């Protein structure tokens, strides 16, 4: 866009829009090919227990490297997939891949998969999750599904009914990015989430904003009363980690521990039996 507006020193608003729209159409076409060709990869990011320091789960995060443009952020391509009706196919493929990977991990390590609100709108989500579990052999107890409040602002009754069916399968339901947007405390009255993930914006401000600290503290209190784990996302520094542990967050996730990486980067944790001399591995 910056390029378009510099052209001849004059900004032609309509041509900017054209550029934007044609770039999007191109990405959409390429994304369709990438999805159908199985080219969307999964990166994994560890989540650690604040009590033991051990990895308890990995979050699966979608990755797309465009052949000409390099890596495209999931915020962008998940959005395109949602708007062009491809999120069902993409989401199902990612879920199956993540379940298959996790089925080969040590049995005390779970996998977390993000769901788009739109995956709740087609009727097949529960069937899809059942199929992924059956095909992969992953026990339901080892699958966590992350949902955001975006899901909960429309068609609430339908959504909670599906979440209940999913939870009855034995999978855990996590509320992601809590505290931004239109988060409502009433969600916790409507549904027994297994964990809540505090949005990374609060973690980033923990040293400078007494309000951010107080909000984290309040969510931790809620978590204790409701028997719900509290995960802090976006932990980047030892100082943040210490403050979050003191506040009582049960789990931590962030670049301090590891960036999301290919599964093979975590071989030492995920396939300890294949390591020399059976070294006990942790991060």
- Which residues contact ligand C2E by CB under 6 A? 45, 61-62, 73-75, 78, 91, 94, 114-116, 146, 176-177, 200, 233-236, 253-255, 260
**C-beta closer to ligand C2E: residue 181 or 224:** 181
Query: Where are the extended beta strands (E) located within 80-121?
Result: 110-114
Find the helix or strand (DSSP H, E) in which 225 lies: helix 210-226
- Residue, CB closest to ligand C2E: 254
Which residues have C-beta within 8 Å of that of residue 141, sequence separation ≥ 6? Answer: 110, 170, 171, 172
Distance CA 82, CA 29 (A): 14
How many chain residues bind Mg ion (CB under 5 A)?
A: 5
In the numeric block, the tokens 């915020």 are attached to 75
Question: Which of Mg ion, ligand C2E, none is residue 78 near (CB under 5 to 8 Å by kind)?
Answer: ligand C2E
As beta bridge partners, residue 112 has 59, 144
Report 225-244 residues binding Mg ion (CB under 5 A).
Answer: 233
- The nearest distance, CB 176 to Mg ion, in angstroms, is 4
Binding of residue 176 to Mg ion (CB under 5 A): yes
3-class secondary-structure state, position 86: coil
Report 194-223 residues binding Mg ion (CB under 5 A).
Answer: none
Contact with Mg ion (CB under 5 A): which of 133, 177, 188, 241? 177
Q: What is the DSSP string of 7-48?
A: GGG---HHHHHHHHHHHHHHHHHHHHHHHHTT--EEEEEEEE
Distance CA 256, CA 264 (A): 19
- The nearest distance, CB 167 to Mg ion, in angstroms, is 18
- The nearest distance, CB 263 to Mg ion, in angstroms, is 17
**C-beta closer to ligand C2E: residue 30 or 176:** 176
Residue 178 CA neighbour count, 13 Å, CB half: 25
- The nearest distance, CB 61 to Mg ion, in angstroms, is 7
Distance CA 109, CA 197 (A): 18
Report 124-163 residues binding Mg ion (CB under 5 A).
Answer: 146
**C-beta closer to ligand C2E: residue 16 or 41:** 41
**C-beta closer to Mg ion: residue 19 or 194:** 194
- The nearest distance, CB 77 to ligand C2E, in angstroms, is 9
Q: Which positions touch Mg ion (CB under 5 A)?
A: 114, 146, 176-177, 233
């Amino acid at each position: 866009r910056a390029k378009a507006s510099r052209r001849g020193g004059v900004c032609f608003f309509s041509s900017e829009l054209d550029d934007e729209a044609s770039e999007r159409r191109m990405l959409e076409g390429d994304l369709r090919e990438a999805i159908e060709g199985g080219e969307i990869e999964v990166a994994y990011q560890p989540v650690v227990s604040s009590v033991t320091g051990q990895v308890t789960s990995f979050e699966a995060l979608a990755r797309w490297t465009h052949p000409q443009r390099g890596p495209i952020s999931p915020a962008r391509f998940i959005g395109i997939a949602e708007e062009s009706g491809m999120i069902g196919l993409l989401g199902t493929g990612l879920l199956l891949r993540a379940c298959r990977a996790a089925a080969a991990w040590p049995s005390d390590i779970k996998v977390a998969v993000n769901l788009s609100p739109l995956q709740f709108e087609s009727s097949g989500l529960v069937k899809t999750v059942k199929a992924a579990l059956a095909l992969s052999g992953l026990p339901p107890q080892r699958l966590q599904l992350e949902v955001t409040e975006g899901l909960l602002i429309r068609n609430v009754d339908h959504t909670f009914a599906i979440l209940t069916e999913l939870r009855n399968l034995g999978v855990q339901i996590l509320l992601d990015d809590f505290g931004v947007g239109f988060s409502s405390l009433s969600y916790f009255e409507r549904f027994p989430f297994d964990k809540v993930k505090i949005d990374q914006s609060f973690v980033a401000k923990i040293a400078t904003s007494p309000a951010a600290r107080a909000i984290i503290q309040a969510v931790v209190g809620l978590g204790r009363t409701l028997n719900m784990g509290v995960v802090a996302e976006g932990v980047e520094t030892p100082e943040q980690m210490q403050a979050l542990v003191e506040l009582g967050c049960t789990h931590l996730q962030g670049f301090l521990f590891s960036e999301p990486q290919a599964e093979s980067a975590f071989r030492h944790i995920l396939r300890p039996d294949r390591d020399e001399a059976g070294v006990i591995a942790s991060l």
